[in-house]
Structure 1
Amino acid sequence: MRTPARYAAPAAAALLALSCLTACANDAASSTSAAGGGGGKGEHVKIMVGGLDKVIYLPAMLTQRLGYFTAEGLNVELLSEPAGVQAETALVSGQVQGAVGFYDHTLDLQVKGKKVESVVQFSHAPGEVEVVSNKAAGSITSPKDFKGKKLGVTGLGSSTDFLTKYLAVKNGVNVSEFTPVAVGAGPTFISALQKGSIDAGMTTDPTVATLLDKKAGKILLDMRTPEGSQAALGGPYPSSSLYMQTDWVNGHKDTVQKLVNAFVKTLKWMSTHSASEIAAKMPADYSQGNKTLYAEAIKSTLPMFTKDGVMPANGPETVEKVLKAFNPNIKNAKVDLGKTYTTEFVEKATG
């Protein structure tokens, strides 16, 4: 049957997007298998990561490189998308069984009628940094100056988008008074900053370390530590985590326990090893030819990680406060925080 003309373009766009997503997933799958034991025997689980080479999501690849998935009898396939919101989409659509991304997506999804929960919490701070271009450094000295500016985020609807909006609103700038621009991370982010496509933006390591090394911009706000999170957001901000659809968790508790066991082992290992030792375990191409700079990036971000995978006290409440400040869907809805995460598996892993 012939497709009506008015539907042809959207249909083609959707098909192209799906093709790109599949291609990216396949590329990521092959690269992770080559890099660290993703193929072979064991129960197969697919996990989408909102940027495998981002230091904030480092536990995903490190767990594979340390062999902890295999030790638990799992064959984990790590896939990668440039932004957490795309990892969320892959999870909700059933492409993968788990997503490594920010915990705040579980609240956002709940008010949209989706039951998703964090099963192990990697961090108690966002690990994000707001940087400003050299050209705009004089006119942007705090989030109060966001009005009229173009602000970079990894993707619209991503956690960098959420946090940028909160910082603006908290400092008296309405979300309609600035322009969020999706620029991804890494080279695309740095290029956008250098070319003036954005005046400032939120990103993570290793992009931050590379940007500073190139002298392409300056740090405006640093949320890589619990102290930085407290200052900017008013409390601990649980960010990177493994979250899964609640129905899948309830139907596969043995598998989830094995995943959580592996991740908790990794978090403990990270807490007793140096940034250089951690860097040495990661795929060689993650350092982009500069091992020293990559180790520095890890060192700067290490304070954000938990040592045991436990949800920090008052963390969910901080996240809810942040989202309610600018997100009308959440502001006018009752969020059941108890259904956005579970400590069942972490308690067994650490016990």
Structure 2
Amino acid sequence: MISLSLALAGCSALGGSDSGGQASAGGGPERATLRVGMLNIVDTASFYLAQQRGFFQAEGLTVEPVTAQGGAASTPGLVGGSLDVAFGNYVSFFLAQSQGVGQFRLISDGYQADANTFLILARPDGVLRTPRDLAGRRVAVNTFRNIVELNARSALQTNGVDPNSVQFVEVPFPDMAAALATGRVDAAAMVEPFITSASRSLGAVPILDTASGPTADIPIAGYGTTEAFARENPRTVAAFQRAMARGQQAASDRRNVEQVLPTYIRIDQSTAALITIGTYPQSLDATRLQRVADLMQQFALTPGRFDVQPMLGPG
């Protein structure tokens, strides 16, 4: 297990300091500015807390968030060099690595699901009431073949619905409520804060919790870079890890998450107070992340067992 808390206490070998301040021994970060691919969702609250509270600045880093639709949209940016680091769901990272899109390294955990943080919602017209009603219907996911779709497939199968009977439709999270309201889709696989927003504005009702049963407490997403970037910029990566460790710790207090959400997502404080929040893990653990890879194998996203261990930590 690669503990982010350990990164706070002992990163001098990578050019850091014991106090969590800017690297001194061996020099500061090789790259002072980082372009970071981001999703503006609850999952990324720890990053924005780290930015707001000056944790990156204390490490000699300036971070420039670049909004993406999903992790699958960010991995080409990492490979092409338009992004230095990216927040992405683990399915997208593992799929890109297994398909030879690039060689990636996961450098910080980001978010883990909890009950009611991943829901399939429908209009309040009563046409869809149970998971079995989703058979043959159009269900929105933010991007194809990602953690949202994987969770949905697993939960559907657990509830006696053939996942292949569902037509998944790609719709960005911010557009899902409108897609539901206009009938473009019959249901939508949402995350927070869009779950709460759709419930308040549209009266959308939950049909299925997709982070339950085999996917309960499943790791969702983290921050990664390329193996080449990690190898060539070890002090930069270590500085990012230290700042994110402080951000993850700050996000463990719900009040901090509620405070920062309206600064990067278009929701008001009253909505922020109602959302369901998952967990911001303090470590990258291969055993936990392997659950995602094994589920990918079960649903034929990878041809065989994919070992996540080589992807953990700087090169």
TM category (shorter chain) comes to: 0.7 to 0.9
Corresponding residue for residue 44 of structure 1: 33
Corresponding residue for residue 131 of structure 1: 121
Give the 3-state SS of the residue equivalent to 1:201 in structure 2: strand
User: Conserved in 1, the CA contact under 8 Å of 2:72 and 2:93?
Assistant: no
Residue 323 of structure 1 aligns with an amino acid whose one-letter code is M
Matched, 1:337 2:315: no
Corresponding residue for residue 296 of structure 2: 323
User: Conserved in 1, the CA contact under 8 Å of 2:92 and 2:145?
Assistant: no
Distance 1:125 1:63 in 2: 21
Judged with a 3 Å threshold, the aligned counterparts in structure 2 of structure 1 residues 132 and 336 are, in CA distance, closer, same or farther, namely same
Corresponding residue for residue 5 of structure 2: none
Distance 2:68 2:260 in 1: 22
4+ runs deviating over 6 angstroms: none
Judged with a 3 Å threshold, the aligned counterparts in structure 2 of structure 1 residues 311 and 61 are, in CA distance, closer, same or farther, namely same
Corresponding residue for residue 78 of structure 1: 65
The Cα shift of 1:159 comes to: 2.6
The Cα shift of 1:171 comes to: 4.1
Residue 321 of structure 1 aligns with an amino acid whose one-letter code is D
Residues 73-105 of structure 1 deviation map (CA, whole Å, 9 limit, x = unaligned): 011111101222212232233210111111222
Corresponding residue for residue 101 of structure 1: 88
Judged with a 3 Å threshold, the aligned counterparts in structure 2 of structure 1 residues 269 and 283 are, in CA distance, closer, same or farther, namely same
1:314 aligned to which of 287, 290, 307: 287
Residue 319 of structure 1 aligns with an amino acid whose one-letter code is V
Higher relative contact order (CA 8 A, sep 6+): 2
Corresponding residue for residue 6 of structure 1: none
Paired positions, count: 282
Corresponding residue for residue 260 of structure 1: 241
Corresponding residue for residue 258 of structure 2: 279
Judged with a 3 Å threshold, the aligned counterparts in structure 2 of structure 1 residues 166 and 90 are, in CA distance, closer, same or farther, namely farther
Residue 124 of structure 2 aligns with an amino acid whose one-letter code is N
User: Conserved in 2, the CA contact under 8 Å of 1:100 and 1:242?
Assistant: yes
Q: TM-score, normalised by structure 1?
A: 0.73
Give the 3-state SS of the residue equivalent to 2:206 in structure 1: strand
| Structure 1 gap ranges (5+) | 1-41, 224-228, 346-351
Distance 2:284 2:120 in 1: 25
The Cα shift of 1:64 comes to: 0.8
Judged with a 3 Å threshold, the aligned counterparts in structure 2 of structure 1 residues 160 and 184 are, in CA distance, closer, same or farther, namely same
Residues 170-207 of structure 1 deviation map (CA, whole Å, 9 limit, x = unaligned): 44544432211111112x11011112211111111111
Judged with a 3 Å threshold, the aligned counterparts in structure 2 of structure 1 residues 285 and 341 are, in CA distance, closer, same or farther, namely closer
Aligned pairs for 1:194-213 within 5 A: 194-213=181-200
Corresponding residue for residue 294 of structure 1: 272
Distance 1:279 1:168 in 2: 31
| Structure 2 gap ranges (5+) | 1-30
